[in-house]
């Protein structure tokens, strides 16, 4: 089955060299939001916080997480469960001090230009939430509570096993004893935990409640654009196991001649890759897992995906088209340097922000990829066949790559990349087709048609 997905409008610059605009969050610098995580231990709060931070940073929105547990560990590195008994005054005092230290650091960070601060803690009582609310409000910071509720025993047990037993709180301890202690800790929290309650005095709070991540959501009093973007992103998350496969198209005729852009077909070696791709995919995905394939609307990606099994759904996205190189489309890097020497230098100076005359910057590409990321988060197994610049941007999202460095990353042709999101980061496996192809990587200042990537670009 094939179709064309509606994409967002392509961002075009007026003629002439311009820096990319900071995007649709034009008033983002004026907004300060504290995202306050709420929920019992082992409900995926840190996972959600980490994803929200990654998403925002990918969009160049200054975001940071303040994990109260890390502050508490300074004072109580490996406490047993009774530390978390709410009748233990010493534990209460230290936990309160840790929360105060985290909030103080967060406020200081907001003063240096921070936009979204994520307070990662249980914030399980109304008193604690009121204190955070009052403190933030007094500093002109909006508060968005994000409560994660989960009654799926399997998910809770997996969280206890995978996350908590690798936590510094239990380092070096017997895993069984650690799991038992952690369960005892959870029961202490259960005694005082109050869900955010709209019927009572928390009705005026802005909040998002997530039930079993992705199954059910409740939203209350979302106030502005940035809040709604965060909420929309979090609503689309799920925790079902899945992977994302990424591949560039097979070597194209322009790749061979060192020309950029265009809409060329594959070279003979590119054709070989297209024929080999189903086998690589089968090796990595297996035979019976359903897979959806996304390509760009350009010939070279469609040709690369055309031998994949017909029962895979295939969808073409305009948003996956290669970075638009405007007036430089179809030129070699040497021709660009000869015709537009200032542009050539400016691009090397700031490759992420440089926008081709009449074309796009990497920053522009990230903006148009946002719906793709949103759809990826909602989906299960997806294979994306796309282009060098687009793949760099998607890879940067999953692997948390620094945006300034990502445009210089080497993404070899004829290689399938498998990314699997895990609780604390994304796992990567690469499958090489062993079909030779030219290198399209280019170092700063170089006009070589084909250059070997340096070790730092890998
Ligand atoms: O940002 P740089 O490093 O120039 O790379 C992007 C370029 O990659 C290329 C190959 O050199 O993409 P593609 O994979 O679609 O062939 C060019 O078409 C595109 O302009």
| pLDDT for 59 | 97
pLDDT higher than 60, residue 100: yes
Contact (CB, 8 A) for 7 and 319:
yes
| Residue 108 CB-density burial (10 A; 0-12 exposed, 13-18 middle, 19+ buried) | exposed
Residue 438 has pLDDT above 90, yes or no: yes
Ligand 1: which of 322, 350, 405, 409 to mutate, judged by most atoms within 8 Å of the beta carbon? 322
CB atoms within 10 A of CB 275: 15
- Strand residues in 196-353 grouped as ranges (E): 207-211, 216-220, 244-248, 292-295, 313-317
Nearest CA to ligand 1 atom 17: 260
* Model confidence, pTM: 0.91
Residue from 322, 343, 364, 377 carrying the catalytic annotation:
322
Question: Ligand 1 atom closest to Cα of 298?
Answer: 15
Q: Of 18-22, 42-46, 118-122, 127-131, which range is least confident?
A: 18-22
Burial class (CB in 10 A: 0-12, 13-18, 19+), 64: middle
pLDDT confidence tier of residue 78, bands split at 50, 70 and 90: very high
Task: Indicate the length of the chain as a whole number.
Answer: 458
> Strand locations in 178-310, DSSP E?
207-211, 216-220, 244-248, 292-295
For ligand 1, atom 15, name the residue with the nearest CA.
387
User: Exactly one of 188, 249, 387, 414 is catalytic; which is it?
Assistant: 249
Give distance in angstroms: CA of 287 to centre of ligand 1: 32
Identify the CA nearest to 252 among candidates 241, 235, 265, 234: 265
The candidate with the shortest Cα–Cα distance to 383, out of 308, 275, 298, is 308
pLDDT at 215: 85
Asked if pLDDT for residue 239 goes beyond 90, the answer is no
Residues with Cβ < 8 Å from 286, sequence gap 6 or more? Answer: none
Of 251, 252, 385, 389, best ligand 1 pocket probe by most atoms within 8 Å of the beta carbon: 389
CA dihedral of residues 300, 302, 307, 311 (deg, nearest 10):
160
Atom of ligand 1 nearest to the CA of 391: 14
Atom of ligand 1 nearest to the CA of 388: 14
Question: Among 43-52, 350-359, 432-441, whose mean pLDDT is lowest?
Answer: 43-52
Tell me the best of 303, 356, 440, 442 to mutate to test the pocket of ligand 1, counting ligand atoms within 8 Å of each CB and taking the most: 440
Query: How confident is the model at residue 198, as a pLDDT?
Result: 72
Average pLDDT over residues 9-33: 49
Average pLDDT (52-78) is 96
Ligand 1 centroid, distance to 329 Cα (angstroms): 10
Structure tokens at 333: 């890097």
Counting from 1 in the atom list of ligand 1, the atom nearest the Cα of 329 is: 20
354 vs 20: CA distance, rounded Å: 7
Q: Which residue, chain included where needed, has tokens 């069984």?
A: 176
Residue range 13-29: mean pLDDT, rounded: 43
Distance CA 325, CA 359 (A): 5
Whether pLDDT at 204 is above 90: yes
- pLDDT top residue among 403 and 288: 403
pLDDT at 298: 98
- 413 pLDDT higher than 50: yes
Mutate to test the pocket of ligand 1, among 246, 254, 260 (most ligand atoms within 8 A of CB): 260
Residue 445, pLDDT > 70, answer yes
Tell how far the Cα of 390 is from the centroid of ligand 1, in angstroms: 9
Q: Is 238 a catalytic residue?
A: no
Residues with CB under 6 A from ligand 1: 248, 252, 255, 260-261, 322-323, 325, 387-389, 407, 440, 442
Mutual angle of helices 362-378 and 388-399, in 10-degree steps: 60
pLDDT: which is higher, 456 or 360: 360
Mean of pLDDT values over 348-361: 98
d(C-alpha 453, C-alpha 458), whole Å: 7
Number of helices (H), then strands (E), belonging to the chain: the values are 14, 15
pLDDT of residue 455: 79
> Which residues, listed in sequence order, are joined to residue 266 by a DSSP beta bridge?
252
In this prediction, residues 282-302 reach a mean pLDDT of 95
pLDDT at 457: 76
Contact by Cβ (8 Å): 225, 25: yes
Atom of ligand 1 nearest to the CA of 362: 1
> Which residues on adjacent β-strands are paired with residue 34?
117, 143
Element (H, E) at 343: helix 341-349
Query: How many A from CA of 231 to the centre of ligand 1?
Result: 34
Q: Is 434 a catalytic residue?
A: no
pLDDT given for residue 155 in this prediction: 85
pLDDT at 29: 59
The stretch 177-181 carries a mean pLDDT of 91
pLDDT digits (tens, 9 = 90+) for 293-310: 999 999 999 999 999 999
Q: Which of the listed residues 246, 248, 259, 261 should we mutate to test ligand 1's pocket, taking the one with most ligand atoms within 8 A of CB?
A: 261
Least confident of 1-10, 116-125, 161-170: 1-10
Provide the pLDDT for residue 11.
34
Distance 80 CA to ligand 1 centre (A): 55
Cα 323 to ligand 1 centre (Å):
7
Strand partners, 220: 207
Range from 54-68, 208-222, 340-354 carrying the lowest mean pLDDT: 208-222
**Tell me, what DSSP letter sits at residue 77?**
S
Q: Identify the residue whose C-alpha is closest to ligand 1 atom 2.
A: 389
DSSP 122-159: ---SHHHHHHHHHHHHHTT-EEEEEEEE---HHHHHHH
Distances (CA, A) of 198 to 126, 283, 453: 12, 50, 56
- 243 Cβ partners below 8 Å, 6+ apart? 285, 381, 418, 419, 420
Active site annotation includes 90:
no
- Cβ partners under 8 Å of residue 31, min gap 6: 115, 142, 224, 226
User: Atom 5 (ligand 1): residue with closest C-alpha?
Assistant: 389
Give 368-377 pLDDT, tens digit per residue: 999 999 999 9
User: 63 CA distance to ligand 1 centroid (A)?
Assistant: 30
Give the residue, 454 or 64, on which the prediction is more confident.
64
The average pLDDT across 46-53 equals 94
Phi, psi dihedral angles at 233 (to 5 degrees): -60, -50
Give me ligand 1 centre to Cα 107, in Å.
42
Q: State the closest ligand 1 atom to the C-alpha of 322, by its place in the atom list counted from 1.
A: 15
**Minimum CA distance residue for ligand 1 atom 8:** 388
Whether 22 shows a pLDDT value over 50: the answer reads no
How far is the C-alpha of 418 from the C-alpha of 398, rounded, in Å? 11
Distance 251 CA to ligand 1 centre (A): 11
Element (H, E) at 427: strand 425-432
Determine if residue 34 is left, alpha or beta; phi over 0 gives left, psi from -120 to 50 gives alpha, anything else beta: beta
What local confidence, expressed as pLDDT, does residue 19 receive? 40
């Amino acid at each position: 089955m094939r179709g064309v997905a509606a994409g967002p409008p392509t961002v075009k610059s007026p003629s002439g060299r311009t820096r990319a605009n900071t995007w649709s969050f034009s008033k983002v610098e004026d907004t300060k939001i504290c995202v306050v995580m709420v929920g019992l231990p082992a409900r995926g709060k840190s996972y959600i916080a980490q994803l929200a931070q990654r998403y925002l940073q990918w969009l160049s929105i200054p975001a940071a997480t303040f994990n109260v547990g890390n502050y508490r560990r300074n004072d109580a590195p490996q406490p047993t469960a009774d530390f978390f008994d709410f009748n233990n005054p010493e534990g209460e005092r230290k936990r309160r001090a840790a929360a105060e230290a985290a909030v103080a650091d967060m406020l200081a960070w907001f003063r240096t230009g921070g936009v979204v601060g994520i307070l990662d803690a249980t914030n399980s009582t109304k008193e604690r939430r009121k204190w955070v609310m009052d403190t933030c409000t007094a500093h002109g910071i909006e508060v968005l509570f994000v409560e994660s509720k989960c009654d799926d025993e399997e998910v809770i047990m997996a969280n206890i096993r995978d996350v908590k037993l690798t936590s510094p709180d239990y380092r070096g301890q017997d895993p069984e004893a650690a799991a038992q202690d952690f369960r005892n800790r959870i029961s202490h929290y259960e005694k005082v935990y109050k869900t955010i309650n709209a019927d009572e005095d928390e009705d005026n709070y802005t909040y998002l409640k997530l039930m079993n991540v992705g199954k059910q959501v409740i939203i209350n009093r979302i106030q502005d654009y940035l809040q709604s973007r965060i909420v929309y992103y979090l609503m689309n998350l799920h925790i079902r196991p899945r992977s994302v496969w990424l591949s560039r198209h097979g070597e194209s005729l322009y790749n061979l001649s060192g020309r950029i852009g265009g809409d060329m077909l594959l070279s003979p070696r590119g054709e070989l890759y297209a024929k080999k791709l189903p086998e690589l995919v089968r090796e990595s995905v297996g035979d019976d897992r359903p897979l959806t394939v996304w390509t760009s609307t350009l010939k070279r990606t469609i040709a690369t995906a055309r031998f994949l099994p017909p029962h895979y759904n295939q969808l073409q996205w305009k948003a996956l088209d290669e970075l638009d190189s405007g007036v430089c489309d179809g030129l070699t890097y040497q021709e660009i340097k000869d015709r537009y020497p200032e542009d050539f230098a400016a691009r090397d100076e700031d490759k992420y922000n440089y926008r081709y005359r009449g074309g796009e910057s990497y920053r522009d590409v990230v903006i148009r990829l946002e719906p793709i990321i949103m759809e990826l988060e909602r989906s299960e197994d997806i294979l994306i066949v796309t282009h060098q610049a687009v793949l760099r941007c998607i890879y940067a999202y999953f692997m948390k790559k620094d945006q300034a460095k990502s445009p210089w990353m080497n993404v070899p042709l004829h290689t399938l990349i498998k990314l699997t999101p895990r609780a604390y980061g994304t796992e990567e496996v690469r499958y090489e087709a062993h079909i030779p192809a030219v290198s399209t990587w280019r170092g700063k200042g170089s006009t070589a048609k084909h250059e070997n990537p340096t070790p730092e670009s890998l």
